[in-house]
């Protein structure tokens, strides 16, 4: 039987003290940071209940369940997705047992753990499903309210809130994370967050994590200017550092107590603490909050604060020679694989041969495999500096989080590399290091979005990066897609987001290319891959084992009939390449992998130099 008054009624009768951290407190008590804390609800229930009881004794009126991150996506990484319901129900019941009906129990719902499309690969419907099933399990466990925590993306914030409202009729408190400059991690200001929360039907809205008590006072003050619903604040205990193998936070309990009072006076009704806090911090906060009167609910006011939107991007032709020529003259590029070691001499010598043949652009290739290669940015810089050839830098987001990706991109711009192929790659565990984790924070659409923001002088969080970058984003297209309408719509969306051209995998059929180009339209510059087939076995391998490549049966049959399949493959590649000028914007030739001498002879045999000379005369 639910205690009275209800949580919603309690919000009208003075400040409510929340509890403190669970994960960092467990870590302080010896649990490794890489452990799934939520699983402890099943494997070490006594430890979780003991932490809850310490917070009850410290004076907390709200206990937050140990279910942060206990959603399907995050649990699946730990091999625990099948235990989702059991974990969340156990988390709710452990908090309920520890509270002895003296506290409200808040079901903790953390972020998805993966970015929403178009930045990442999780669609809205999937995200709704992930949040709903966790909320349903927490409600089944008997929580009094749902608290959504540490959400950085405003769309994810709204999806989580919608899912919670659909899954149960409990009060929902939703928090966003903010940076030191008062914006959320994705660029929104406090008043924007409040407006969206009220429109979506939140019971209370606020901020948690990432900032300490002082910064939280400013954020709550700015939220209070717009809020017509209660506010909630859960600051961290300062910034962390690593001491003797453990993460430590600096803020002393007395300091947290003083600022808890200031946060309440700024307008917060719910005040608790986040990472680094302990029962000692909560006890100090309880002592200070005892004297705080109920916050006044303020009426909405119009404020003129506005997000920085950046500047207009540099016109495409001014960003690179490749961008200037796209759609104006036939572009020739040749794939050159990256060295497996640190010696660049052979790669640079081969690049010089290609330049002398008439090639104007190099496509750097690591074959998209999860293997160790020298960083392509180093090769691109040396080729451009030493030989004057432009490079297209393949950039796949497999190995980096959002911060690392943006750091890499800034480095590329500093080194003068402008052309980027937004590529998809094999998962990290499909290479030389099978235990390597694939991060996957950002997909191809998300990377285009990041590049477009930088070209306006902003990072993804809409913080200024100084002057705008001049990147030329190129994306992958699939002429063999099962539904060309869908593929064309995807490419048009990426072009609208900032992409300047499309690069295909190797193609072998003019008719397929003509249908593809007709569907995407002449406004989309297409650079077509051309690869000389070596044998019928080679063609069968590409057709059956390499995703995205289709070798027509007529081509494979021609190779099987030929007395010299390698020569036949070169002839077919030459015929295709000669048909491309006037149909597409350019070609990138993919010569035999890891065989540079054979590769160069293949290019000569295909008549690449003649094709290039003819296409240039035509322009």
pLDDT tens per residue, range 310-323? 788 999 999 999 99
* pLDDT of amino acid 244: 64
Record the tokens describing residue 272, joined without a space.
């608790």
By the 8 A CB rule, do 131 and 69 touch? no
In this model, does residue 381 exceed pLDDT 50?
A: yes
For residue 565, the SS3 value is helix
By the 8 A CB rule, do 275 and 236 touch? yes
Q: What is the CA radius of gyration of the chain?
A: 29
Instruction: Select the more confidently predicted residue: 441 or 120.
Output: 120
In this model, does residue 431 exceed pLDDT 60?
A: no
* pLDDT of amino acid 429: 41
Q: Write the DSSP string, 382-433.
A: HHHHHH--EEEEEE--TT--HHHHHHHHHHHHHTT--EEEE-----GGGSS-
CA 499 to chain centre: 18
Residues in a beta bridge with 504 = 477
- The stretches of 247-373 forming alpha helices (DSSP H) are 253-266, 279-289, 321-325, 345-357
* pLDDT of amino acid 59: 95
Give the closest residue to 17 by CA, choosing from 137, 102, 84, 93: 102
Least confident of 127-136, 172-181, 419-428: 419-428
* pLDDT of amino acid 614: 56
Mean pLDDT of 370-379: 79
Q: pLDDT tens for residues 230-274?
A: 999 999 998 777 666 667 777 899 999 999 999 999 999 999 999
In this model, does residue 570 exceed pLDDT 60?
A: yes
Record the tokens describing residue 284, joined without a space.
């100090």
Fold equal for 7-289 and 316-530+582-593: yes
By the 8 A CB rule, do 475 and 329 touch? no
In this model, does residue 307 exceed pLDDT 50?
A: no
Query: Average model confidence (pLDDT) for the chain?
Result: 85
In this structure, CATH architecture of domain 7-289: Alpha-Beta Barrel (3.20)
Integer Cα distance of 359 and 419 in angstroms: 16
Given pLDDT bands bounded at 50, 70 and 90, which one contains residue 557? very high
Fold of the domain built from segment(s) 316-530+582-593: TIM Barrel (3.20.20)
**pTM: predicted TM-score of the whole model, two decimal places:** 0.66
Given pLDDT bands bounded at 50, 70 and 90, which one contains residue 189? confident
Look at the block and give the residue holding tokens 């009881």.
53
Ordered by start, the domain boundaries in the chain are: 7-289, 316-530+582-593
For residue 358, the SS3 value is coil
Record the tokens describing residue 191, joined without a space.
């008043």
In this model, does residue 609 exceed pLDDT 70?
A: no
Mean pLDDT of 275-285: 95
Looking from the CA of 458 toward its CB, the CA atoms found within 13 Å total 18
By the 8 A CB rule, do 187 and 462 touch? yes
Record the tokens describing residue 586, joined without a space.
């350019």
Using CB atoms within 10 A of its CB, is residue 91 exposed (0-12), middle (13-18) or buried (19+)?
A: buried
Cβ contacts of 546 within 8 Å, gap of 6 or more: 505
* pLDDT of amino acid 395: 85
In this model, does residue 299 exceed pLDDT 50?
A: no
Give the closest residue to 337 by CA, choosing from 361, 371, 363, 357: 363
Percent of the chain clearing pLDDT 70 (strictly above): 85
Given pLDDT bands bounded at 50, 70 and 90, which one contains residue 292? confident
Q: From residue 326, give the alpha-carbon distance in Å to each of 246, 353, 529, 560.
A: 53, 24, 16, 37
Integer Cα distance of 588 and 335 in angstroms: 7
Given pLDDT bands bounded at 50, 70 and 90, which one contains residue 2? very low
Give the closest residue to 310 by CA, choosing from 125, 499, 100, 451: 451
Record the tokens describing residue 619, joined without a space.
């322009």
Given pLDDT bands bounded at 50, 70 and 90, which one contains residue 327? confident
Q: pLDDT tens for residues 470-481?
A: 999 999 999 999
Q: Between the CA atoms of 518, 523, 525 and 528, what dihedral angle is there, to the nearest 10 degrees?
A: 0
Integer Cα distance of 442 and 450 in angstroms: 10
Instruction: Select the more confidently predicted residue: 88 or 35.
Output: 88
Q: Is the peptide bond before 245 cis (omega within 30 degrees of 0)?
A: no
By the 8 A CB rule, do 338 and 365 touch? yes
Q: From residue 316, give the alpha-carbon distance in Å to each of 152, 182, 313, 330, 473.
A: 32, 34, 8, 17, 10
Give the closest residue to 13 by CA, choosing from 269, 201, 264: 269
By the 8 A CB rule, do 275 and 251 touch? no
Spatial strand order in the sheet of 231-234: 16-17, 268-271, 231-234, 204-208, 172-176, 145-151, 104-109, 62-64
In this model, does residue 537 exceed pLDDT 60?
A: yes
* pLDDT of amino acid 201: 94
Q: From residue 587, give the alpha-carbon distance in Å to each of 91, 531, 542.
A: 57, 10, 19
Integer Cα distance of 443 and 121 in angstroms: 6
Integer Cα distance of 401 and 407 in angstroms: 10
Record the tokens describing residue 106, joined without a space.
């808040």
Record the tokens describing residue 182, joined without a space.
């008062």
Integer Cα distance of 299 and 224 in angstroms: 9
């Amino acid at each position: 039987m639910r205690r009275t008054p209800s949580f919603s009624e309690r919000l009208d009768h003075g400040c409510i003290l929340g509890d403190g951290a669970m994960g960092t407190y467990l870590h302080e008590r010896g649990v490794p940071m890489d452990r799934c804390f939520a699983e402890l609800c099943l494997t070490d229930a006594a430890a979780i209940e003991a932490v809850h009881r310490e917070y009850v004794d410290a004076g907390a009126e709200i206990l937050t369940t140990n279910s942060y991150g206990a959603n399907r996506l995050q649990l699946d990484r730990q091999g625990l997705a099948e235990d989702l319901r059991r974990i969340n129900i156990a988390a709710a019941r452990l908090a309920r047992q520890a509270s002895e009906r003296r506290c409200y129990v808040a079901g903790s719902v953390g972020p998805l753990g993966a970015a929403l499309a178009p930045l990442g690969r999780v669609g809205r419907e999937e995200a709704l499903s992930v949040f709903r099933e966790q909320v349903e399990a927490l409600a089944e466990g008997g929580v009094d309210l749902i608290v959504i925590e540490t959400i950085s993306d405003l769309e994810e914030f709204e999806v989580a809130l919608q899912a919670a409202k659909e899954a149960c009729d409990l009060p929902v408190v939703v928090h966003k994370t903010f940076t030191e400059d008062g914006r959320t991690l994705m660029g929104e200001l406090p008043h924007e967050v409040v407006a969206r929360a009220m429109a979506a039907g939140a019971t209370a809205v606020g901020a948690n994590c990432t900032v300490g008590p002082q910064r939280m006072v400013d954020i709550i003050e700015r939220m209070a200017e717009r809020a017509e619903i209660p506010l909630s604040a859960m600051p961290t205990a300062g910034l962390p550092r690593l001491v003797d193998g453990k993460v430590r936070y600096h803020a002393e309990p007395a300091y947290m107590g003083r600022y808890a009072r200031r946060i309440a006076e700024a307008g917060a009704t719910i005040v608790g603490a986040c990472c680094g806090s302990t029962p000692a911090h909560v006890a100090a906060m309880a002592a200070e909050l005892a004297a705080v009167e109920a916050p006044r609910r303020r009426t909405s006011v119009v404020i003129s604060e506005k997000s920085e939107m950046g500047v207009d991007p540099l016109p495409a032709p001014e960003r690179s020679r490749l961008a200037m020529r796209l759609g104006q003259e036939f572009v020739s590029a040749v794939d050159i694989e990256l060295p497996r070691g640190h010696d660049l001499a052979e790669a640079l010598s081969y690049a010089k041969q290609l330049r002398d043949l008439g090639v104007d652009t190099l496509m750097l290739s690591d074959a998209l495999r999860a293997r160790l290669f020298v960083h392509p940015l180093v090769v691109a810089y040396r080729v451009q500096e030493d030989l004057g050839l432009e490079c297209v830098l393949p950039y796949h987001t497999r190995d980096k989080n959002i911060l690392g990706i943006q750091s890499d991109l800034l480095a590329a711009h500093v080194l003068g590399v402008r052309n980027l192929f937004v590529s998809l790659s094999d998962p990290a565990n499909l290479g030389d290091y099978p235990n390597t984790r694939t991060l996957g924070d950002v997909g191809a659409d998300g990377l285009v979005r990041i590049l477009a923001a930088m070209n306006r002088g902003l990072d993804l969080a809409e913080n200024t990066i100084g002057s705008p970058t001049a990147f030329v984003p190129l994306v992958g297209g699939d002429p063999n897609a099962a539904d060309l309408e869908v593929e064309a719509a995807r490419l048009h969306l990426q072009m609208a987001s900032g992409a300047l051209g499309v690069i295909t995998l190797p193609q072998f059929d003019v008719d397929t290319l003509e249908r593809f180009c007709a569907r995407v339209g002449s406004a989309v510059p297409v650079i077509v891959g051309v690869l000389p087939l070596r044998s019928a076995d080679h063609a069968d391998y590409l057709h059956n084992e390499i995703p995205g490549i289709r070798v027509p049966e007529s081509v494979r049959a021609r190779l099987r009939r030929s007395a010299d399949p390698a020569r036949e493959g070169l002839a077919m590649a030459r015929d295709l390449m000669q048909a491309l000028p006037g149909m597409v914007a350019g070609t990138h030739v993919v010569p035999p992998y890891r065989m540079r001498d054979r590769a160069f002879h293949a290019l000569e045999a295909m008549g690449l130099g003649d094709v290039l000379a003819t296409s240039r005369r035509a322009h």
